[in-house]
Amino acid sequence: MKIVIRDAWVIFKRDLKIEKYMWIVSIIFMSYFGVMISMIVESQLEPKNELYPISDIVLLVLIPMLGFYFSKKSFKYLTEDSYTQMMIYLRTLPISSKVIMGYRYMQLTTALIINSLIFFSIMYGISHPLRVEMPLEAFISFALTWIGYAIAVMGIYIHFEFLCSGRKYFWLSMILMGISFIVAIAIRMLGGNLLLYTVNMSQEWGMLSPVMWGTLVGGLIVLAIMGKFTIRKLQNRDLL
């Protein structure tokens, strides 16, 4: 295990050096994302405002992006199939599939921590109604609830990234977004709202919220299962 972590760390550090300026783009996007979501949340917290599914759609579709940081590969995955090219390069190295997955988990963890801090700090900082409705402890519970969801979906995206061509990755991503759209519409038709539900649960339970712990544990389980499945499939993937 120590060897896997060591080799994954070497590849991760090299990746950071190559893509270091792309973090600026990620920070700018997450800042904009935080402002946009805070405005949507404010509108949904108004007592007499109609509950539209747009808040759930935006959260379900965009929250998983907390696990990404912008890179040359992410911008060119469709035109140059850059994810496959990355896999070809990694497969030429004397490393195992576990090292490759460990490297990707390091990317995920780093992006998730930095992006979440930026996004949720801006969201809480500029939204006065949100600060009035939720003390800091409740908001942290709210943030961790959605981070758990992001972890689960990222397991699926990593599976697509490692095993699919750029074109197939694009269409599968569109399908995932379409499913999120359908889920949000269905919940609204049943009289629910995911955003307000997670807000209310966080207000009521704080850091003991069963929804927060459920999404975090469930997200890690999904990530682990998808990781093992991806490693098994990756060993037999034809990259030609």
Q: What integer pLDDT is reported at residue 120 of this predicted model?
A: 92
The pLDDT of residue 196: 86
State pLDDT tens for residues 26-56.
888 888 888 888 887 777 776 655 566 788 8
Residue 239's pLDDT is what? 64
56-99 pLDDT, tens digit each = 888 898 899 898 877 767 666 667 677 778 888 877 878 888 88
- pLDDT beyond 60 at 203: yes
pLDDT over threshold 80, residue 21: no
pTM, two decimal places: 0.90
Query: 130 pLDDT band (50/70/90 cuts)?
Result: confident
Decide if pLDDT at 216 tops 80. yes
73 phi-psi bin (left φ>0, alpha ψ -120 to 50, beta other): alpha
